[in-house]
């Protein structure tokens, strides 16, 4: 293909990527958005194959990677989706590092001068250290989310000082690489090694409850790493795609921070969750709570005029979304007004609950975001909380609480609250929840799927 045709094909692919993001902004158009994204990537890959001599090797690698990806995607449970996303981010960062190493080793094969110009060195430096930090940070996020590492913040004295010193040393090696007249492998290798270490140190002090923001932040990092490498290679497709991922991830991180009342800048700098981390609030006194059975819950919910269902991570663990749909349909048949309330950070990743409810084909018009539904709780007969904890914790209104100021779903304002949990254990943030001890609250202990199925039978 001629250079003009290649540029045109990449431009068309970029338009499809933009349409993909537009489609993904709503559950109703998400499938179409995914389709646009796949078409855009197919165009980009085909165009790249037409301008390379090693297309056989590339196709073989695509076949191997695609097969592994398809097998993993089919086998992964919905509850494991957050750690899968984190792992995918790590691969994007690692790919950026490998491409940068290849470009430094043999710049001519990438269409660059044999002696790298300063502009290319700067671009490679940015893409490499962001990619390295993305890889190591995503690995930590994967380990925390999958339970292979404690979700509690890992801190030590002088942590921020150590991170700052490492960052300055890394920049120093980057400047050495930048101003060297020849390829300075020592400076480049030291810079990459420190970037890998810095990625680990930035993520380990972040608590497990804050992982939704971490995932969107790492998603943004992976995009900027790809964009930086795209500048080095003179590849407009990589620049545009990376910029789209980077900017959309940054916007999502900002939205997540607002939803959790966290400073956006501290997230970007890795200080998120490292100071004054959430710890269980308890005065040591025994608190009384009211518990009931599935039949009791069915009686209360069956005699209500309006019901709001709040899904949480417990629903994902129990895979109860299809049972919940059956419950909602049964209530609707009985004339009950049923809606679902979604908190932006419910679950372990942004949109986790939306994905689960969409999988069960629950009508989109019944699924409302926090800002849309919060004013309705005070006029609601029954709120059914399924495995959610921190997103309905009234401690967010208590000055001095670790989650003070965090926007929550106001489930405590409803006339009756029913909470389905396996036990009275604290949520992911490690906080006790006063909602569980209110006179209007009834605890129903058990697996969410089993409890909901029993409620449907009772109805």
Catalytic residues: 390
Contacts (Cβ under 8 Å, ≥6 apart) of 208: 144, 145, 150, 151, 152, 428
Residue with structure tokens 């992964």? 76
Contacts (Cβ under 8 Å, ≥6 apart) of 52: 58
Pair type for strands 306-311 and 382-386: parallel
DSSP string, 256-290: HHHHHT--HHHHHTT-TTTSS-------SPPPP--
The C-alpha atoms of residue 85 and residue 386 are separated, in whole angstroms, by 24
What's the angle, vertex CA 209, arms to CA 207 and CA 214, rounded to 5? 70
Task: Report the sign of the C-alpha dihedral through residues 446, 401, 351, 226, in that order.
Answer: negative
The C-alpha atoms of residue 64 and residue 185 are separated, in whole angstroms, by 31
The C-alpha atoms of residue 47 and residue 255 are separated, in whole angstroms, by 35
Residue 426 DSSP one-character state: -
Contacts (Cβ under 8 Å, ≥6 apart) of 168: none
The C-alpha atoms of residue 141 and residue 128 are separated, in whole angstroms, by 20
The C-alpha atoms of residue 456 and residue 301 are separated, in whole angstroms, by 10
Residue 47, CB half-sphere, CA atoms under 13 Å: how many? Answer: 23
Residue 38 is encoded by which pair of tokens? 């796949």
The C-alpha atoms of residue 408 and residue 388 are separated, in whole angstroms, by 11
Q: CB under 8 Å, gap of 24 or more: what pairs does 86-90 form?
A: 86/138, 86/141, 86/142, 86/145, 86/214, 86/215, 86/218, 87/138, 87/139, 87/142, 89/134, 89/138, 89/141, 89/215, 89/218, 89/219, 89/221, 89/222, 90/134, 90/135, 90/136, 90/138, 90/139, 90/142
* Helix (H), strand (E) at residue 341: strand 337-342
The C-alpha atoms of residue 212 and residue 264 are separated, in whole angstroms, by 13
Residue 367 DSSP one-character state: E
* Helix (H), strand (E) at residue 417: strand 416-421
């Amino acid at each position: 293909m001629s250079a003009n045709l290649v540029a045109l094909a990449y431009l068309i692919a970029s338009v499809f990527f933009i349409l993909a993001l537009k489609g993904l902004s709503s559950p109703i158009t998400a499938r179409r958005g995914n389709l646009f994204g796949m078409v855009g990537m197919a165009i980009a890959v085909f165009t790249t194959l037409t301008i390379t001599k090693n297309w056989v090797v590339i196709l073989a690698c695509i076949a191997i990677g695609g097969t592994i990806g398809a097998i993993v995607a089919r086998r992964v449970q919905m509850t494991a989706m957050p750690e899968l996303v984190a792992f995918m981010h790590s691969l994007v960062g690692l790919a950026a590092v490998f491409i940068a190493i290849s470009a430094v080793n043999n710049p001519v094969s990438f269409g660059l001068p044999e002696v790298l110009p300063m502009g290319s060195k700067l671009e490679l430096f940015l893409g490499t250290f962001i990619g390295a930090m993305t890889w190591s940070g995503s690995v930590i996020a994967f380990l925390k989310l999958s339970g292979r590492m404690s979700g509690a913040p890992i801190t030590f004295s002088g942590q921020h000082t150590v991170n700052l010193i490492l960052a300055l040393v890394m920049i120093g090696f980057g400047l050495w690489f930048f101003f060297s007249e020849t390829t300075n492998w020592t400076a480049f290798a030291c810079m990459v090694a420190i970037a890998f270490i810095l990625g680990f140190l930035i993520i380990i002090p972040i608590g497990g409850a804050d992982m939704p923001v971490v995932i969107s932040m790492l998603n943004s990092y992976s995009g900027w790493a790809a964009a930086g490498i795209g500048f080095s290679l003179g590849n407009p497709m990589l620049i545009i795609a990376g910029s789209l991922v980077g900017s959309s991830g940054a916007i999502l991180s900002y939205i997540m921070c607002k939803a959790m009342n966290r400073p956006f800048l501290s997230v970007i700098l890795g200080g998120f969750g490292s100071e004054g981390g959430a710890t269980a609030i308890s005065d040591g006194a025994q608190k009384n709570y009211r518990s009931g059975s599935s039949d009791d819950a069915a009686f209360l919910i069956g005699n209500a005029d309006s019901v709001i269902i709040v899904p949480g991570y417990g629903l994902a663990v129990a895979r109860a979304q299809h049972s919940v749909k059956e419950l909602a349909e049964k209530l609707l048949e009985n004339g009950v007004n049923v809606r679902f309330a979604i908190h932006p950070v419910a679950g372990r990743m942004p949109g986790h609950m939306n994905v689960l409810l969409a999988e069960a084909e629950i009508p989109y018009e019944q699924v409302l975001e926090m800002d849309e539904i919060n004013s309705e709780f005070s006029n609601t007969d029954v709120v059914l909380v399924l495995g959610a904890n921190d997103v309905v914790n009234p401690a967010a209104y208590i000055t001095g609480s670790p989650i003070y100021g965090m926007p929550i779903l106001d489930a405590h304002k409803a006339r009756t609250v029913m909470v389905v949990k396996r036990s009275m254990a604290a949520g992911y943030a490690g906080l006790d929840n006063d909602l569980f001890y209110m006179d209007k609250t009834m605890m129903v202990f058990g697996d969410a799927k089993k409890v909901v199925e029993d409620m449907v039978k009772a109805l």
